[in-house]
Amino acid sequence: MSEAVLMRYVRGAYIREADYIPPKRSRHQVEHSWTSTQELPSGRLRLIAYSPYGRVRWSTDWQETKTASLRPALKAIVQSIEDAAVELVGKLEEADRQAEIAHRAWLAAEEKRRRDEDRRRVEQSVRESREHLTQIIGRWSQVLEVERFLAGVERRAADLPAEDQALIRDRLRLARAFLGTQDPLDVFLAWRTPTERYHPVYPDEAT
């Protein structure tokens, strides 16, 4: 163990205040020194016994005093530790039981979380698939409307002079190239069903 000891700084080193001998007073020499408290080894022992298992907290200690050593108490200390060990066995068994209960509760909570997350993602895939299909239907209507418009332009151009027809056909070709594919089936094939978007982990619970 350590103890607080009053120390005095004298000529570049610290010594115990109890060992300090003041110099004889001199008019020509003044000794500069000061004191401070420091932790130093006391020379006395402390014995600490504790549970090495984090799930059970137990500890006790014995320490020497200036007038009493631990040596005469060693047999009593050993007996005390052995008695405590018997009690610790029961506490460890109870701690293990509580830990198993907590672990099962954690597993159940994790299983519930996974099922809830799976259900959420299934619902999300259904919602996104429905929204996408609605967009495709709208896109289909738009494509058909564009095709009707272009076909109408082409029919009207048939009544124009040849030079004007050529100009209209060039413009129609440019318009179709700009718009890209106008086949509604190409748009429909891009749609994905809910299970194509997300495969349920718990299919029996999927709605």
Tens digit of each residue's pLDDT (9 = 90 or more) over 36-78: 999 998 889 999 999 988 889 999 999 999 889 999 999 999 9
Sign of CA dihedral 148, 154, 158, 164: positive
CA angle 72, 77, 81 (to 5 degrees): 170
CA distance 105 to 112: 11
Q: What is the pLDDT of residue 30?
A: 58
Q: What is each CA distance from 41 to 53, 68, 134, 172, 191, in whole angstroms? A: 30, 17, 83, 100, 80
**Residue 145: closest CA among 184, 177, 113:** 184
Q: What is the pLDDT of residue 181?
A: 66
CA distance 22 to 24: 7
CA distance 139 to 152: 20
Q: What is the pLDDT of residue 31?
A: 67
Query: Tell me: the pLDDT tens digits for 76-106?
Result: 999 999 999 999 999 999 999 999 999 999 9
Tell me the pLDDT of the chain averaged across its residues: 88
In b/e form, how buried is each residue of 75-103, taking b as 16+ CB within 10 angstroms?
A: eeeeeeeeeeeeebeebeeebeeeeeeee
